[in-house]
């Protein structure tokens, strides 16, 4: 059976416990290996890919984004639902809430971010007017409505290089530039998906107010705890979108 949908699980989303007929696959790509878990859900074959590896062993700046997207493409995936833990710069987007990201600001520094490196691969300048797939965002919005889950249906994601969290001065700058959320992984993932002609959407889970907006120091543990709290609803939302 063809694999149509890919789920890229971010921080706190490591196992595809909602899938049956599970099969692990190591896929070789020109960019390296990607480990993907195939499974079935209500008659559909899905590919699940934990972005940070099993047990969160790969930091955001070292994720092999090209191998991951290429592997999903080789499986035949046409739509990717990605999850992301994010800090919030926008007081309306509160910890525990979901945001269907619609724009990004790229503050990454040192990541391979294209499949098109010239020479044989060619030179391509991809359009980014609507970086996140409007159809998938609509499906997610409707699924959330049906489930009674409050979601923000737009938000600008600032992608930092990490792995450190931000300074309050950086957060204030991002806020003034129009950022709503901050995370470390959506770029180049969303860009590569577009280059691979895969429809891509992110469900961001707000885990904390970002540095300086919250008066408390931020820890990875706090991020994991909030993801654990939101996990059931996040899974319900994803699987309901898959079922559309």
Under the phi-then-psi rule, with left for phi > 0, alpha for psi from -120 to 50, and beta for the rest, what region is 76? left
Nearest distance in Å: CB 2, ligand HPA: 33
Pick 77 or 187: Cβ nearer ligand HPA: 187
Residues in contact with ligand HPA by CB under 6 A are 85-87, 165-166, 182-184, 207-208, 210, 218, 223
Residue 26 CB, nearest distance to ligand HPA (Å)?
28
Angstrom distances, CA of residue 142 to CA of 135, 157, 191, 227, 234: 11, 21, 25, 22, 14
Closest approach of ligand HPA to the CB of residue 167, in Å: 11
- In whole angstroms, how close is the CB of 187 to ligand HPA at the nearest point? 12
**Torsion angle, CA of 203/204/206/212, rounded to 10 degrees?**
-160
Q: Which residue's CB comes closest to ligand HPA?
A: 87
Neighbours of 190 (CB within 10 A): 26
CB burial of residue 212 (10 Å; 0-12, 13-18, 19+)? middle
Neighbours of 163 (CB within 10 A): 11
CB closer to ligand HPA out of 39 and 179: 179
State in angstroms the smallest separation of the CB of 158 from ligand HPA.
8
Choose between 68 and 205: whose C-beta lies nearer to ligand HPA: 205
User: Measured from the CB atom, is 52 or 73 closer to ligand HPA?
Assistant: 52
Q: Which is nearer to ligand HPA, 180 or 195 (CB)?
A: 180
As a whole number of angstroms, the distance between CA 226 and CA 232 comes to 11
Looking at the Cβ atoms of 98 and 165, the one nearer to ligand HPA is: 165
Helices 65-75/186-195 angle, 10° precision: 40
* 27: nearest Cα among 61, 62, 73: 73
CA angle 124, 65, 24 (to 5 degrees): 130
- Kindly state the smallest distance separating residue 207's Cβ from ligand HPA, in Å: 5
């Amino acid at each position: 059976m063809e694999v149509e949908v890919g789920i890229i699980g971010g921080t706190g989303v490591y196992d595809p416990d909602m899938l049956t007929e599970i099969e692990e696959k190591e896929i070789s790509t020109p960019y390296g290996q990607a480990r993907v878990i195939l499974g079935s859900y209500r008659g559909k074959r899905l590919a699940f890919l934990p972005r940070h590896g099993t047990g969160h062993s790969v930091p955001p700046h070292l994720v092999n984004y090209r191998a991951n997207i290429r592997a999903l493409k080789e499986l035949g995936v046409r739509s990717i639902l990605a999850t992301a833990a994010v800090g919030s710069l926008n007081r309306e987007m509160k910890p525990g809430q979901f945001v269907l990201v619609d724009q990004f600001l790229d503050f990454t520094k040192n990541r391979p971010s294209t499949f098109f490196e010239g020479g044989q691969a060619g030179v391509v300048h991809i359009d980014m007017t609507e970086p996140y797939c409007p159809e998938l965002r609509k499906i997610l919005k409707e699924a959330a409505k049906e489930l009674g889950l409050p979601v923000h249906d737009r938000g600008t994601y600032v992608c930092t290089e990490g792995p450190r969290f931000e300074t309050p001065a950086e957060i204030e700058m991002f806020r003034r530039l129009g950022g709503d959320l901050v995370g470390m992984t959506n770029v180049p993932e969303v860009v590569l998906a577009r280059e691979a002609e895969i429809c891509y959407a992110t469900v961001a889970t707000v885990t904390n107010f970002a540095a300086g907006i919250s008066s408390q120091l931020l820890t990875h543990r706090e991020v994991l705890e909030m993801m654990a709290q939101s996990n059931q609803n996040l899974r319900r939302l994803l699987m309901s979108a898959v079922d559309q």
